[in-house]
Structure 1
């Protein structure tokens, strides 16, 4: 799969939205909810990056082993 700049923009967009929601919730006095939103945003981005790294390792393995088994 070819990854382009769209993935970087998706991660940046998630970061911006999470930061805005965190700021609003913190100003409303709901610090615990703000921390949960930040944690969930981090987990989503971590899953996206882990998927990309997994694809990279699969490509490297297929190049050096020349077979799927």
Structure 2
């Protein structure tokens, strides 16, 4: 039984095989935007400082 593989997946697999240097750039980009060190104290302060949002922001009778 054959396993389906999309055209995009095939393209990306072949492209990454032809351009191995992109793996390093991909990891650097991920580290820049996503992989951030986690600080529990900062997370707690952010969670505690949230202000509840009103149901409908533009309702003049709900202030």
Higher-helix-fraction structure: 1
TM category (shorter chain) comes to 0.3 to 0.5
Greater RCO (Cα-Cα under 8 Å, separation 6 or more): 1
> TM (normalized to structure 1)?
0.31
Scaled by the length of structure 2, the TM-score of the pair is 0.33
